């Protein structure tokens, strides 16, 4: 394939990767809103962020499909199996100004993906913790208190009673 066509394909690949990076930046903002809504117990904001995130993920799927098509076309151009062609390999195979731009797009996308992974992990841990707290709250309200071991008067460590009742906003325990 002639150089202008390759240059056009590399430019298209860089544009798609830059668009993906932009969408992931938007996703970062949504993950932050989602985390803040969870911390503040603002369920409506949380659900709103999840809905927006779903739409954004669909957009990212389309961009990723477009990127894969471009990589497949470039693999044919360079006679490299599609599974073996990476952006790094492309840059190494064809040094020049267009690959410098592609390298910048690659680093930009990598950086934002690293942030998304970190924020997503934080949100997962927060939501897991909130789920556990909710489960414990439901158990308390349902009369199922987790038995904890305590040091008793008889000199032994024993589990506390698991019976309890919520009365007038206070929880009383049977010991």
Residue 149 domain boundaries: 142-175
Total domains in the chain come to: 2
148 and 90, same structural domain? no
| Residue listed under structure tokens 């693999």 | 75
84-132 pLDDT per residue, tens:
999 999 888 887 787 889 999 999 999 999 999 999 999 999 888 888 8
Rounded Cα gap, residues 88 and 106, in angstroms: 8
pLDDT single digits (tens) 43-93: 899 999 999 999 999 999 999 999 999 999 999 888 999 889 999 998 888
Say what the pLDDT of residue 15 is: 96
Same domain, 19 and 88: yes
pLDDT at 160 over 80: no
Check which CATH number belongs to the domain holding 91 and give it: 1.20.58
95 in the same domain as 44: yes
Same domain, 28 and 108: yes
Asked if 57 and 117 sit in the same domain, the reply is yes
175 has pLDDT over 50: no
151 & 79 share domain: no
> Which of 147, 169, 142, 141 has its CA nearest to residue 160?
147
Asked whether residue 127 falls in the same domain as residue 153, the answer is: no
Domain identity same for 101 and 168: no
CB 143, CB 165: distance < 8 Å: yes
């Amino acid at each position: 394939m002639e150089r202008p066509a390759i240059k056009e394909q590399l430019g298209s690949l860089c544009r798609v990767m830059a668009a993906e990076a932009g969408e992931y930046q938007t996703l970062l903002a949504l993950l932050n809103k989602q985390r803040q809504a969870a911390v503040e117990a603002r369920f409506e904001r949380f659900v709103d962020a999840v809905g927006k995130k779903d739409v954004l993920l669909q957009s990212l799927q389309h961009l990723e499909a477009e990127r894969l098509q471009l990589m497949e076309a470039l693999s044919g151009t360079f006679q490299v199996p599609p599974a073996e062609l990476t952006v790094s390999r492309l840059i190494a195979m064809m040094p020049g100004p267009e690959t410098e731009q592609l390298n910048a797009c690659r680093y930009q996308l990598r950086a934002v993906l690293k942030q998304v992974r970190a924020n997503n992990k934080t949100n997962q841990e927060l939501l897991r913790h909130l789920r556990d707290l909710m489960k414990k709250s439901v158990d308390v309200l349902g009369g199922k208190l987790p038995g904890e071991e305590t040091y008793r008067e008889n000199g032994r460590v024993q589990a506390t009673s698991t019976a309890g009742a919520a009365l007038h906003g206070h929880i009383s325990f049977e010991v």
